[in-house]
Amino acid sequence: MQIRFVLAALRKHRLATFLIALQISLACAVLCNACFLIVQQVHAMRIDSGVDEARLGTVKLSGFDPKSANDFNARVVDALRHVDGVQSVSVISGVPFGEPGVRAGIGLDPDYKQFGGVIDFYLGDDHAAHDFGLHLISGRMPSPDDYMPVTKFVPSNAPVLITRTLAEHLWPGQNPLGKQFWGLDTQFRVIGVLDHLSVSQPGGSEAKDPDWSVFVPAIAGPNLAGKYLIRAQPNDMPRVMREAREAALKAAPDAVLDTDQSHSLSRLRHSYFESARVMVKLLAGVVVALLGTTALGIVGLASFWVTQRRKQIGTRRALGATRGDILRYFQIENFIIVSFGILLGMLLAYGLSLELMRSYEVPRLPFGYMPIGAAALWILGQLAVLVPALRASAITPVEAIRTL
């Protein structure tokens, strides 16, 4: 019943009402979009790479003569296998969260009339599939006959293990086993489907989905050399990697060790998402600061209005308003202002989302975030106004009457 009186009073204080509502609307717009971006980043950081990260490490060497790649590979693999704690070593083209390996656009026909997207190709020798810990959900793992030398970037007419996500994208609702696709001037045939195998740079590559990748069995040689996958016990990983780097350099003293990429996969993942973590912290800081500023704005305005309306509050109490009536008056007033701000904020949030989509290629803000942002601001508003409202309700009528 007090809503009419609150609205009438707010009409008389349009500027202050509009300014605080504007502040709330900005908070709402930023809150919705920041929360969405935070959730996206957190979701991206929790990606399932599809490999046994805790047990894996990689060593990358460069600067060797490709003509002696077979000898080079043999020396390094042998040296790495002799490191205490190393369970297995394989030659690979890349790892999740490492440098981009082989990446190319594929088609569902030789002429690429049906473009299938840009995907990552992980090449690995006959130990790699096992060492990676790939989880096959249908089909079979590569047999010894499936391993072929790499001609240029990949083996010709190679059998592949494809991820479930990519298979569903290429052949929706169909059994992908035996299906073919083309890329890198050759043809690939699906022999197995993997639960997951993330691209090397999830969220940062041209792949539209972080799980658009395939494993290609290959024989180590001139076009598959210099990158090694090490498998060891998780708790032994730091020591194993330290000794593996030393052993690799000792085995190939003329080669250059890539110190950025020669680490455990856990560390590579940590490094890869460093900027995402910073962004999450920054966004969270912005959200907290914005909500804090908004709450202080509400407290400030409500406190000012309580002081300004002290006489009115006394008059209302003299006319029969209970403490609850006074408390409710300020709560209703805050609810109306915040609701107005939220309404404006939702439009702003949507506009901001469109701008972010256009400028940074982020997905559109899902509508579900708007009621969450609204609820957060309603709760914040009610909490912020509580202390001034309780102070107002505690004003005794005679106290106010004395000041008349």
Partner 1 sequence: MLEMRDMSKIFRTEQVETHALRSFDLHVREGEFVTVTGPSGSGKTTFLNIAGLLDTFSTGAYVLDGQDVSDLDDYARSKLRNRKIGFIFQGFNLLPDLNLFDNLDVPLCYRRLKRAERHQRINDALARVGLASRMKHYPSQLSGGQQQRAAIARALAGHPRLLLADEPTGNLDSQMALEVMDLLQDINRAGSTIVMVTHDPNLASRAQRNVHIVDGRVAEDPADGTIRPRPVEGTA
- Joined together, the tokens standing for residue 251 give 């085995």
In whole angstroms, give the CA distance from residue 207 to residue 37. Answer: 19
Q: Which is nearer to partner 1, 23 or 393 (CB)?
A: 393
Q: Is the dihedral of CA 68, 73, 74, 75 positive or negative?
A: positive
Q: Which is nearer to partner 1, 11 or 46 (CB)?
A: 11
Q: Which of residues 277-336 bind partner 1 (CB under 8 A)?
A: 311-312, 315-325
In whole angstroms, give the CA distance from residue 179 to residue 184. Answer: 17
Question: Count of residues binding partner 1 (CB under 8 A)?
Answer: 27
Residue of 258, 257, 221 whose CA lies nearest to 69: 221
Residues 161-180: x/- map of binding to partner 1 (CB under 8 A)? --------------------
| Residue whose entry in the numeric block shows the structure tokens 């609307």 | 25
Q: What is the DSSP letter of 54?
A: G
Q: First and final CA of the chain: distance in angstroms?
A: 27
Candidate segments 146-154, 161-169, 289-297, 393-401, binder of partner 1 by CB under 8 A: 393-401
- Joined together, the tokens standing for residue 86 give 């190393």
Measured from the CB of residue 387, what is the shortest distance to partner 1 in angstroms? 20
Measured from the CB of residue 384, what is the shortest distance to partner 1 in angstroms? 22
Which residues are CB-contacts of 43 (< 8 A; sequence separation ≥ 6)? Answer: none
Residue of 335, 334, 372 whose CA lies nearest to 34: 372
Q: Which of residues 9-38 bind partner 1 (CB under 8 A)?
A: 9, 11-13
Q: Which is nearer to partner 1, 178 or 320 (CB)?
A: 320
Q: Is 404 in the site for partner 1 (CB under 8 A)?
A: yes
162 DSSP β-pair partners: 193, 214
Candidate segments 281-289, 336-344, 377-385, 392-400, binder of partner 1 by CB under 8 A: 392-400
Residues 337-376: x/- map of binding to partner 1 (CB under 8 A)? ----------------------------------------
Q: Can you give the binding site for partner 1, defined by CB under 8 A?
A: 1-2, 4-5, 8-9, 11-13, 311-312, 315-325, 396-398, 401, 404
